[in-house]
Structure 1
Amino acid sequence: MNDQQNPYDPYYPQQPQIIGYDAYGQPVYQQQAQAPQQPAYDPYDPYAGQQQAYGYDPYAQQQPPTPQQPAYDPYAGSQGYAQPGHDPYETYGGGQQWQAAAEPAAPVAAAPAGVPGQRPAPEPPAAEPSVPAARAPRRPDADEDKEYRTEQFSFIEEPDEDSEDVIDWLKFTESRSERREEARRRGRNRVIALVVVLVLAAVGGLGYLWSAGLLPGTGDPEERSRAAATGPQRRDTIVLHLHDTRGGGTSTALLVDNTTTQQGTTVLLPNALAVADADGTTTTLGKSVEEDGSSGTREALYNLLGAKIAGTWRLDTPYLENLVEYLGGIEADTDTAVPDPKAGKGADPLVAKGEQQTLTGRAAVAYATYRAPGEAEAKQLQRFGQVVGGVLRKMPSDAANATSAIEYLQQIADPSLPEKDLGASLAKLADHAKTGAYKTALLPVGQDGALTEGAGDSVVKDILGGKVTVLDAGGVPRVSIKDGTGEDAVEAARVVLVNGGYAFAGGSRTDSREKSEVVYGDDAQKATAVEVAKTLGLPADAVAKGKPSGSAAVTVVLGRDYEIPGAP
């Protein structure tokens, strides 16, 4: 732009010369004639086309007014529109308001004498009216880069009618938030206290169980068994039949899982054990397995021992060999050396004698079925029990993996015991065997196949949880005989009893005695005992209450006073 000053441009006024100072210390300028000026056209100024008075421009430098025009009073009210040079669209701050013209402006005092053209001192500002003035509209093209002075603003604080309600609401919400936070804090404290109490109780309980030896894997298994034997116990029992497909014969055992005492037991059953078949006829366990099969034998054992049997696991010797191979071999303390039937004389034995001998599948089968000439059956049963224990120690404790081992055999299982149930039972027994809570027991049987004295307490009651049955499957009273005559009177007495309609439950020899006796256990069997005495020709005073042997309802002890039928 041209730097030459334009005398008609209000934004570039000419600077008058100071010729002196008045009584108030204000500078006195030289009066100059000023031509009327036409304000520049502003497209955003709604008052651009109207004639407006010339006056004070807040953004321009102060010029002295002409003598014909009153001096500008910044505190005087406007005449309803903006003063000349003032931007009506410019507002300063949200709280500033311009006062509307309500009263005429105060007259300007005359200049003091002696100073021509001197403007008098401005009057003190008048008090602001109580009615707020209307806000002037803001011009959109106002210069934003101009600096404002604090004396140009007048802030008015407008009272809000809802301020008290807002404050009350804020106080209410704040107090409610504090109450909620306090409730959460108390809740957290209660939870922490409860957790601490539970942890202390758990630690104390575990400490007591550990000190008492009741934790799994701690304490004496016998002590745990005796501690739990006082209450009702739960047992899962399956019967195992090992069929020797090469040498013939069978070996039977009961696998008992006492879930109450966390004990496992293998109960070995001699083949000479006397059991009753379906029609009440007495037979041996070995014959029952061969003739009656799994179902008939299982029912006969239940009638004899009073123990519920869940199912039967038939294991032929080739499948036992495969199972041991699948498990990677077993270990057992062998009591004798077993020769290899496929090797010649002088060859090394298939199974060596000693502790912790590793047995392959073929060696395990040979050791489980081996019975030396003239050796008692109990010896062979104990070897069979050792092999069973070795298999359980190598069997997986997980039900799924144990079931996989059974499925690997591809042997048709008994319908009463599916492969899944058998695997679950073997897994539990394997867990007992690995923790040392497993034992092997032999059911004591006399030469006649009857249970010996004390067998009902030590094995049937304590291990199997059963009770000797006094009646057979058909409801016929079972009668056993003990011969104390010094002669062979068992067979003659058996014939008399069978002809009299009783079931023979076995006979055995006993010490010689003078008088005979008929013993019954339950009061309900007293009448049966009296009839048995009459059948054998014994006096009525021979009947006495006591403890019958084995599974018999009545036991007859023959003395020398018994007259053997047909004897000379």
Structure 2
Amino acid sequence: MWCATSTSASCTVTTAESDRDGRLRLEGQRGALVNDRQDSRPRQQVRYDAYGRPVYRPDAPERAYDDRYGQPPGPRRPEPGPAPAPVSSSAPASAPGPASAQIPEPRPAPDYRTEQFSFVEEPDEESQDVIDWLTFSQSRAERRGERRRRSRKRVRALAATLGLAVVGGVTWLLLSGGDDKRDGSAAGAVRERNVIIVHLRQTQGGDSSTALLVDDEGAHKGTTLLLPDSLAVSGEGGGATTLGRSVLDEGTGGTRDALNTLLGTDIKGSWRLDTPYLENLVELVGGVTVDTDTAVPGPRPGDRLLVAPGEGQSLGGRAAVAYATYRAAGEGRTPQLARFGRVMQAVLRKMSGDPRAATTTVEALAQIPDPSLGPEQLGACLARLATKAKAGSYETTVLPVRADGTLGGRAADTLIEDVLGGAARDAARNAPPRVSVKNATGDGGAAEAARVTLANGGYTFIGAGSARAPQAASAVLYAQGSRAAEAGEVARTLGLPERAVRRGEIPAHADVAVVLGRDYPPRTR
């Protein structure tokens, strides 16, 4: 800086000194700066203060490393001192004012060297932020580990519970199915069968033909089970009647209930198919092809044959009805029933396998449906049976019946088990026990007396006919261990001794079988 009136060196020196003095006075008033450096060496920055300014760590004096390894220490050379400040030889001429107080100059900082300092490194873990973060991370890891341990405990507990449940279930199945494995499998098969009953009613004469259409989904097959009209069933008042008589007197509902009781099955609904509707049905499906076993003449003498005997005969609606209802002179009901079964199977082969199309065919008959079986249900059932008939997995069979109307022994039992799934005993657990009674007393009125006694006791009576020869002792038989108590109650109801109760073979359609011997004391006689 130069004076305004002079450009000499003395003016320059005086001005520089005055500037320095002013800066020193300003520093004396406000105090020394914390972060101002007192020497020219860089220091280590430690942190920032609250105002964002860097704070440095004070430096330790340097250590001297002049001694050589293995050599005697030499004389220490003197450290260079500060250079003397230049003194002005002449004072400014134009400074006549009073002299100001002399301000001491700052001491020059000693010339430190790097060897005189020891650098202490503070570990980052000692910082409060780092400590907090480590504590937080450690607590998170502990919580995560605790959750894992709890999850593993829950999984082990759940696995143990499931294992116990499986073991208990298997044990229960083994214990419950040990008495009668056949009946357990039969009960499971009942749920896979769909059964409907068809009544063919002749408008002239009033005769009827009955068949069960069985859709066995488990075995993927269908069956038409033909039931003779002479089959003995229970009437409305608990008395015995025949199937043909029940259709006329009790109607479709009463007959369906009687067959459910007799066969132990679950018939879903009834389909009354009068002969005019059968004729229309055959025409709607485009005619049927039947292997006929006899010739069917016309309605009047001299008319040509309606149906010729032979295989693969094409029949229209009228001819199909004539063949299904035809019975030659002196011929029993079983051949006529078999012809009806052939016509029904031929109709199913021509039906559509589509439930909607089959329902349309049923609705085209313009029948008044039975309350138990609507057109949609009937159409769906016929469609499933039609699919099996076209695939060749369909058969038609007749239920064996004795002359007295009772079921035909072991053959009937086997057929009931195979076709209806052996539903006789486990179809309805809460239903009254069905008691089959065979008369071996030699007295024709003993069976009727037993029927009245059992009906009054709340049991369902099923007639089993008469034995070929009388026997001395009566017997009350049961097949399942769970029926032992019921067999004992039946024996007490009939007045038979406890020794008559034992385990044995019984008909498939009964829960308890009774053979009345000569020791039976009928109470109603």
| TM-score where L is the length of structure 1 | 0.53
Alignment of 1:86-485 (within 5 A): 234-277=192-235, 279-341=237-299, 343-344=300-301, 346-454=302-410, 457-469=413-425, 477-485=433-441
Closer, same or farther: CA 249–278 of 1 in aligned 2, 3 Å: same
1:361-383 CA-partner distances (Å, limit 9, x unpaired): 11111111122343332222111
The answer to whether residue 467 in structure 2 is matched with residue 510 in structure 1 is yes
Alignment of 1:7-18 (within 5 A): none
2:449–2:523: 8 Å Cα contact kept in structure 1? no
Closer, same or farther: CA 470–434 of 1 in aligned 2, 3 Å: closer
Q: AA paired with 2:465? A: S
Q: AA paired with 1:326? A: L
Q: Counterpart in 2 of 1:495? A: 449
Closer, same or farther: CA 229–465 of 1 in aligned 2, 3 Å: closer
Report the RMSD for the aligned CA atoms in angstroms.
3.3
1:450-491 CA-partner distances (Å, limit 9, x unpaired): 323335653323222242159999965543332445x4x243
Q: Counterpart in 1 of 2:88? A: none
1:303–1:472: 8 Å Cα contact kept in structure 2? no
1:245–1:317: 8 Å Cα contact kept in structure 2? yes
1:100-142 CA-partner distances (Å, limit 9, x unpaired): xxxxxxxxxxxxxxxxxxxxxxxxxxxxxxxxxxxxxxxxxxx
Percent of matched pairs sharing the same residue:
50
Q: Counterpart in 1 of 2:504? A: 546
User: Equivalent residue of 2:476, what SS?
Assistant: strand
| CA distance in 1 between partners of 2:239 and 2:246 (Å) | 11
Closer, same or farther: CA 435–446 of 1 in aligned 2, 3 Å: same
Superposed displacement of residue 438, structure 1: 0.6
| CA distance in 2 between partners of 1:229 and 1:477 (Å) | 18
Superposed displacement of residue 538, structure 1: 4.8
1:244–1:316: 8 Å Cα contact kept in structure 2? yes
Closer, same or farther: CA 400–528 of 1 in aligned 2, 3 Å: closer
Q: AA paired with 1:244? A: Q
1:460–1:466: 8 Å Cα contact kept in structure 2? yes
1:134-158 CA-partner distances (Å, limit 9, x unpaired): xxxxxxxxxxxxxxxxxxxxxxxxx
1:448–1:506: 8 Å Cα contact kept in structure 2? no
1:34-90 CA-partner distances (Å, limit 9, x unpaired): xxxxxxxxxxxxxxxxxxxxxxxxxxxxxxxxxxxxxxxxxxxxxxxxxxxxxxxxx
2:230–2:243: 8 Å Cα contact kept in structure 1? yes
Aligned length: 336
| CA distance in 1 between partners of 2:439 and 2:326 (Å) | 34
Superposed displacement of residue 243, structure 1: 0.9
Q: Which has the higher contact order (CA 8 A, sep 6+)?
A: 2
Superposed displacement of residue 416, structure 1: 2.4
Structure 2 gaps of 5+ residues are 1-184
1:517-568 CA-partner distances (Å, limit 9, x unpaired): 232334454455445546656544333221333533332324466678999x
Superposed displacement of residue 235, structure 1: 2.0
| CA distance in 1 between partners of 2:502 and 2:371 (Å) | 45
| CA distance in 1 between partners of 2:415 and 2:436 (Å) | 20
2:282–2:316: 8 Å Cα contact kept in structure 1? yes
Structure 1 gaps of 5+ residues are 1-227
Q: AA paired with 1:542? A: A
User: Equivalent residue of 1:310, what SS?
Assistant: strand
| CA distance in 2 between partners of 1:263 and 1:560 (Å) | 46
2:187–2:426: 8 Å Cα contact kept in structure 1? no
Closer, same or farther: CA 412–257 of 1 in aligned 2, 3 Å: same
Superposed displacement of residue 414, structure 1: 1.4
Superposed displacement of residue 237, structure 1: 1.8
1:272–1:449: 8 Å Cα contact kept in structure 2? yes
User: Equivalent residue of 1:462, what SS?
Assistant: helix
Closer, same or farther: CA 479–302 of 1 in aligned 2, 3 Å: closer
Superposed displacement of residue 234, structure 1: 1.8
